[in-house]
Amino acid sequence: MNKRTFDKLCRLLFGKRKKGEAEPDEQQRHAMLLHVVKHREPVHPKLVTPLLDRSWLHAMGYLYASKRGFLCTAENLIHVFKEMP
């Protein structure tokens, strides 16, 4: 999945949709999740689908949950704490 496709699907999932546009299906959300994990970014809970075994996310280093519910790696948590005043 490239960035352009990912951004379009994110707009459909999290943003306002135009009339007649549907949310991404489970396979598209699974592809979005793989894209996010590939780039080591925090994972939104809406992206986790029944197609995914959560133990795989733990094996990839997503062991922590932020206050907003995102699944994070240790590196993500360090960046969050550095940005806090």
Q: What is the pLDDT of residue 38?
A: 92
**Which residue segment(s) compose the domain that 9 sits in?**
3-83
pTM of the predicted model as reported, rounded to 2 decimal places: 0.81
In the chain (85 residues long), the average pLDDT of successive 10-residue segments reads 92 87 90 92 89 86 85 80 54
Helix crossing, 3-14 with 26-38: angle to 10°? 120
* Total of domains in the chain: 1
What does the radius of gyration of the chain's CA atoms come to, in whole angstroms? 14
Q: What is the pLDDT of residue 10?
A: 92
